Amino acid sequence: MTERLFSYGTLQLESVQQAQFGRLLEGEDDMLHGYRVVDIQIRDPHVLAASGIEIHRALVPAEAGADPIPGRVFRLTAAEIAAADVYESENYRRESAVLASGIRAWIYVKA
């Protein structure tokens, strides 16, 4: 069984996909409403090694009328979702959301 994951940040990077999933992911463009993006500092050495980026993006609830967040929807196995949870570590929590396309997908929001 596959699950959908909406990525608006570093999970779109090939280096991160190879490190976390051992493969490149295929995805479709989509948008997320109801959130805005903030920057957070990452300290986890494994995340820093995979992404090469210290400042990552995180979602927080937005006021009505905020611009939609562009991203990609990927199909992952349950084991790959668990690997994504490890990558996102203590900085994020996973929630379910409905995207602009009507697809329900997992998203990572600021913890």
pLDDT of residue 68: 97
Q: Using an 8 Å Cβ cutoff, are 10 and 53 in contact?
A: yes
The span from the CA of 4 to the CA of 53, in Å, is 24
pLDDT of residue 37: 95
pTM of the model: 0.91
pLDDT of residue 89: 84
pLDDT of residue 95: 97
The position carrying tokens 């609830």 is 61
Q: Which domains does the chain have, with CATH numbers?
A: 2-110 (3.10.490.10)
- SS3 (DSSP) at 70: strand
76: left (phi over 0), alpha (psi -120 to 50) or beta: beta
Tokens of 12: 């779109």
Q: Using an 8 Å Cβ cutoff, are 108 and 94 in contact?
A: yes
